[in-house]
């Protein structure tokens, strides 16, 4: 019987990658529930064993995989699945580069020499803030509008 249960659960785990986390959640919640009622660790262990056996028997009597029943039990007990992962730093950098490339493509020829021999986007990007602020405001604003395609 143990071999069959193990095989069935392993088969189910292939379709549900977070099965182990769900099972551990269900066990933890059930242990906490039993402890809340003042049960000793020995009583809790026996009850958990009885619960697992009952779920296995119930699954097979319904023609289901015990892994599926354990997983659904965990969800019923509050298991919500793995938290979404934050994008990695590399993925964030790739997204930023792609966005920058997209923006430069929409600017058109703003990065190349300007038709009037004036400021280019590269020249503007290389300027320090002090150099930029030293320009007369009207000229600085005109350069910014020209370079940004405005």
Question: What is d(CA 87, CA 76) in angstroms, rounded to the nearest whole number?
Answer: 29
Percentage of the chain modeled with pLDDT above 90: 51
Higher pLDDT, 134 or 48: 48
Q: Where are the beta strands (DSSP E) in 49-148?
A: none
Out of 68-77, 91-100, 101-110, least confident range: 101-110
What pLDDT, on the 0 to 100 scale, is given for residue 100?
66
**104 — pLDDT class (breaks 50, 70, 90):** low
Which residue is associated with the tokens 């071999």? 3
Average pLDDT over residues 4-30: 94
Contact present, 25 and 78 (Cβ < 8 Å):
yes
Domain boundaries, the chain: 1-77, 120-149
What pLDDT, on the 0 to 100 scale, is given for residue 37?
95
Instruction: Please name which of 130, 126, 96 lies closest in space to residue 111, comparing C-alpha atoms.
Output: 126
What pLDDT, on the 0 to 100 scale, is given for residue 2?
86
Higher pLDDT, 136 or 21: 21
What pLDDT, on the 0 to 100 scale, is given for residue 26?
94
What number of residues does the chain have? Answer: 150
Question: What is d(CA 129, CA 28) in angstroms, rounded to the nearest whole number?
Answer: 58
Mean pLDDT of the chain: 81
Average pLDDT over residues 36-55: 95
Q: Residue 73 above 60 pLDDT? A: yes
Q: Residue 108 above 50 pLDDT? A: no
Higher pLDDT, 57 or 81: 57
Question: What is d(CA 40, CA 46) in angstroms, rounded to the nearest whole number?
Answer: 10
Q: How far apart, in Å, are the Cα atoms of 106 and each of 111, 142, 145?
A: 11, 19, 14
Question: What is d(CA 38, CA 31) in angstroms, rounded to the nearest whole number?
Answer: 11
């Amino acid at each position: 019987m143990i071999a069959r249960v193990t095989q069935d659960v392993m088969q189910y785990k292939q379709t549900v990658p977070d099965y182990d986390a769900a099972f551990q959640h269900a066990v933890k919640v059930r242990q906490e529930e039993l402890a809340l009622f003042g049960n000793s660790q020995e009583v809790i262990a026996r009850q958990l064993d009885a619960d697992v056996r009952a779920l296995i028997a119930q699954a097979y009597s319904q023609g289901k995989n015990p892994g599926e029943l354990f997983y659904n039990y965990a969800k019923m007990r509050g298991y919500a699945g793995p938290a979404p992962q934050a994008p990695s730093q590399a993925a964030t950098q790739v997204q930023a580069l792609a966005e920058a490339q997209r923006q430069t493509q929409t600017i058109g020829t703003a990065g190349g020499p300007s038709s009037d021999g004036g400021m280019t986007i590269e020249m503007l990007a290389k300027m320090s803030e002090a150099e930029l602020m030293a320009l007369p405001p009207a000229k600085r604003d005109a350069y910014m509008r020209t370079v940004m395609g405005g």
